[in-house]
């Protein structure tokens, strides 16, 4: 009994501390395939095989809703502590190569996700790409601003030079 209570407490803490969770069914995958999946998402998530009844209790304690209907069959959860999009992409890529892994749903930003919504997360660009695009936009804005600030100075210099030449030719 104490072991179950410890497991529930650990799962509850994982739910609370995660940016997102992705619930999967791993029926038919080998130990080697599960190890490969864990390696693919290790940087951004922990992948744990869970007991459905204990997970339901832990999710309820952590305030995570909408997963109960998916907690049937052999279940495992990716507890995301890093880039949610990167984990969704890694899971999608893994399921392409290993169709026995089934994404059943998830929980992100205070709301349950369907398997299709987890797939849409995978279609987003990664955090690094979005940051690079944002940096590029800032850089372009700075160049534009620098040009605008320099334009009046350049115009003024041309006007002064034209006036100087006109005065020299008049003399």
120 and 48 inside one domain: yes
Q: Point out the least confidently predicted range of 25-29, 121-125, 150-154.
A: 150-154
Question: What tokens does 113 get?
Answer: 């996700």
Q: How many domains does the chain have?
A: 2
36 and 100 inside one domain: yes
Res 132 pLDDT > 80: no
Work out the pLDDT band at 145, boundaries 50, 70, 90.
low
120 and 170 inside one domain: no
CATH number at residue 60: 3.30.70.1730
73 and 111 inside one domain: yes
For 28, the domain range is 2-124
**3-class DSSP string for 119-137:** HHHHHCCCHHHHHHHHHHH
116 and 140 inside one domain: no
Kindly give the pairing relationship between strand 75-80 and strand 102-108: unpaired
pLDDT at residue 127, rounded to an integer: 63
pLDDT at residue 167, rounded to an integer: 81
38 and 120 inside one domain: yes
Distance between first and last Cα of the chain: 106
119 and 129 inside one domain: no
Lay out the sheet containing 20-25: strands in order across: 45-50, 75-80, 20-25, 102-108, 111-114
Whole-model pTM: value is 0.70
Per the model's pLDDT, the better-predicted residue between 147 and 48 turns out to be 48
19 and 30 inside one domain: yes
- pLDDT digit string (tens) for 46-86? 999 999 999 999 999 999 988 889 999 999 999 999 989 89
**Cβ contact 90:117 at 8 Å:** no
Nearest to 126 by CA among 94, 87, 85: 85
22 and 8 inside one domain: yes
Per the model's pLDDT, the better-predicted residue between 25 and 1 turns out to be 25
77 and 145 inside one domain: no
Phi and psi (nearest 5°) for 118?
Answer: -65, -40
Q: What is the DSSP letter of 70?
A: G
Query: How confident is the prediction for the chain on average, in pLDDT?
Result: 85
Mean pLDDT of 114-139: 76
Q: In the chain, pLDDT over 90 holds for what percent of residues?
A: 52
């Amino acid at each position: 009994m104490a072991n179950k209570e410890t497991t529930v407490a650990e799962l509850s803490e994982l739910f609370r501390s995660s940016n997102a969770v992705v619930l999967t069914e791993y029926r038919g995958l080998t130990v080697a395939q599960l190890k490969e999946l864990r390696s693919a998402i290790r940087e951004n998530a922990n992948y744990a095989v869970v007991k459905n009844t204990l997970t339901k209790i832990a999710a309820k304690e952590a305030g995570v809703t909408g997963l109960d209907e998916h907690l049937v069959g052999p279940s495992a959860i990716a507890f995301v502590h890093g880039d949610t999009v990167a984990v969704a992409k890694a899971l999608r890529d893994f399921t392409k190569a290993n169709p026995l892994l089934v994404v059943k749903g998830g929980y992100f930003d205070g709301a349950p996700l369907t398997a299709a919504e987890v797939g849409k997360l995978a279609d987003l660009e990664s955090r690094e790409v979005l940051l690079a695009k944002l940096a590029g936009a800032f850089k372009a804005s700075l160049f534009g601003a620098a040009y605008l600030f320099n334009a009046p100075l350049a115009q003024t210099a041309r006007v002064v030079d034209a006036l100087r030449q006109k005065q020299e030719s008049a003399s």
